[in-house]
Amino acid sequence: MAASSTLAVSVWRGKESGRFQTFEVPRHESQTVLDVVTHIQRALDSTLSYRFSCRVGMCGSCAMNVNGRARWTCRTHVAEVAAGDRLEITPLANLPVIKDLVTDMTPFFDKWAKARGRFQGGRTRGHDFARVLPESRERRLADAAIECIGCGVCYSSCDVVTWNPDYLGPAALNRAWTLLNDVRDTDNRARLGAVAGDAGCHACHTHMNCTERCPMKLAPTASIAGLKRAAALAALKGELGDAVTK
């Protein structure tokens, strides 16, 4: 499988400003990019910082830019991406760099909160179960977007985030769309106000970087389009509030 015995790996060292350091890493069959980074940290330079947890594509911790594209390193085989036996690994874009390959995800998750990404129910434990038919339109729309694990690949790939740091980004908006389609949720009027306008869904230019790169094959662009329509309708009816967007 391995085309040659070693791989030249350029790894980002430092913070926002820094430099590339190149390592020679032996190639193995079925080697993932995360295996490569782990080899560097364990065998070549123990000061390298990176983040991972599950190693099987469930937790979303190990996303990095590999040869310029945001990916889960644990689910990316070296053979798929190593053009000419070279790899370039940098931290996710659009997020502050803490050190080397580790970014500060705080702005990313703060925007989930700002988009009112938390479920708000109207029932108590005294109530009976809510009945949501699996084949209902809302349930199917929520289903299509719900598998997001919050890895930040879309946020890192989105140009609108780069151009407008206030923009909520694909993941937070996708989350808002799933809740908008949750018939049990009682916070949707405020949520729609929070996700609309120039820093919300209406800033999206349908570049589809998010949809192109999402490792879960979700289509945040479609979710954002749904929010655009819902919020435009609410604005026309005079039902879109400003109160919650501080």
Partner 1 sequence: MSDGGLSIRAQVLLWTAQRASAVVLAVCVIIHLVTIIYAVRNGLSAAEILGRTRGSYAWAGFYAIFVAAVAVHAPIGLRSVLSESFNWRGASLDIAVMVMALALALWGFRAVYSVFI
Partner 2 sequence: MKSDFRARNHPAYWAFIVHRASGVLLALFLPLHFWALGQALAGEAALESFLRWSDQPLVKFAETGLVLLLAAHLAGGARLLMLEFLAWRDWQKSLLAAAAAITLAAGLAFLLNIV
> 80-119 mask for partner 1 (x: CB under 8 A)?
----------------------------------------
Site for partner 2 contains 114 (CB under 8 A): no
Of 23, 27, 84, the residue nearest 50 (C-alpha): 23
Of 25, 135, 3, 143, the residue nearest 87 (C-alpha): 25
Is the separation of the CB atoms in 188 and 227 below 8 Å?
A: no
Structure tokens at 84: 């000419």
Only segment of 29-37, 101-109, 158-166, 177-185 that touches partner 1 (CB under 8 A): 158-166
Residue 64 CB coordination number (10 Å) = 28
Looking up tokens 């499988």 gives: 1
Count the residues of the shown chain that bind partner 2, applying the rule CB under 8 A: 31
What minimum distance in Å lies between the beta carbon of 66 and partner 1? 27
Q: Tell me which residues in 189-208 interact with partner 2 (CB under 8 A).
A: 205-208
Site for partner 2 contains 97 (CB under 8 A): yes
Residue 13 CB coordination number (10 Å) = 16
Site for partner 2 contains 218 (CB under 8 A): no
Report the distance separating Cα 23 and Cα 10, nearest Å.
Answer: 6
* Interaction site with partner 2 (CB under 8 A): 12, 16, 65, 67-70, 90-94, 97, 156-157, 159, 162, 205-209, 211-213, 219, 221-222, 225, 228-229
